[in-house]
Chain A
Amino acid sequence: MARCLGIELVDASVPADATIGRAARTLADAHASALAVLGPDGHVIGTFTQLDLVRSVFPPYLAELHHTAGLLDDREAMAERVADRSDDPLPRPTTRPVTVEIGTSAIHVAELFLHTGLPALPVVDGERFVGMLELVAFCRAIVPAP
């Protein structure tokens, strides 16, 4: 498995034409918090995070609400929505993807984590995707265990 800053990267990616269901399975199988979305030529064209998955399967108006503590789960509707959305294509990336060069510095990676809010960053070697750098792994690497 490829490494960046000495940290083992997670092999988690899907092609751009993948469904939400496939992306969800890839996230779960790889124990990843985000995966790279790859274009037809294998370049990173975006990321799909666990938050994107939540956004996909919960009602879209949820993002507009701020006070939901009094709501109860509607399991029937939730199951219907998950089944409906599983075959939907991934949302099209609307911004340029943030990527990390394999030989980059820890301070640059820290800056990208701070400013993008992403839980994992795609690492590339040139234009080739090599794996996802997880924030949790980055934290473990910079703060050694006692």
Chain B
Amino acid sequence: MNFLRRLVIVTYLCVAVMPLAWLVITSFKLKEDTISSTAKFLPALSKETAGEPGGSGVLFPASVDGYRRLTRAHEGQVHSFFHYLGNSLIIGLLSTLAAVALGTSCAYGFSRFEIAGAKDWLFFILSTRFLPPLAVVVPVLMMYRQFELENTHLGLILLYTSFNLSLSVWLMKGFIDDIPRTYEEAALVDGYSRLHAFWKIIVPHAATGMAVTAVFCLIAALNEYGFAVALNHSKAKTVPVYFAGLQGTISGVPWPQVAAGALLFVVPIAVFTILVRKHLLRGVTFGTIKQ
């Protein structure tokens, strides 16, 4: 039984990690090695053992060419990868900031006050998660055209904030509910106003929660594709839109660059995942399940 268990775990670990390992390896190859008919697994230790790029054999010469080419625009594209990365970061960070700020105050309101129809409001907020982006984006696009928000950073920031609100409110409500009311009550007795109590007491205690919520919102915003491809298709493009658009490139996809760019994009997200590992269950179920 123990052997079976270990076998299952090890097998799945290999399956889970292999594409990521391949990502790392591919990013250090030359293009010919990524499309050769024998897959190259190991970096060669010296130039001699490497042989011809694209030839047979499982060794390949390691090179940072893929990374270097990221700074230039790939043929047929207007900007270099880093331009799109910048877009993603601006949109992601600003929408996360707004989502956490609005979400925390909204969660505080629902947690501490009697609000008519609170339960309905909260479930309505939760249900926005189920909306397929494509089903919502069409009217939003029409609306954005009226306000000239199509293809802008601000347009996507507003939309991401709104969609991350459901995540943010539910997560923060869970965190704020865990803060004993007695803290604020003591402050109120001492003459603090509600707002002051919120600022001085709740916010510091909820700081970890806000950080965790911020990480999940940021990851969601960075990874998002549906809205981005519909609204920001020619300017202010984000990384996922850029990558998905490379599919079907005429001269073949530049795999080393794609791998390098994907790695640069994915590594911070993996780091963030490790940072919030204790809250992963809460985060991916929108705070509805706590462990």
Q: Do A and B come from one complex?
A: no
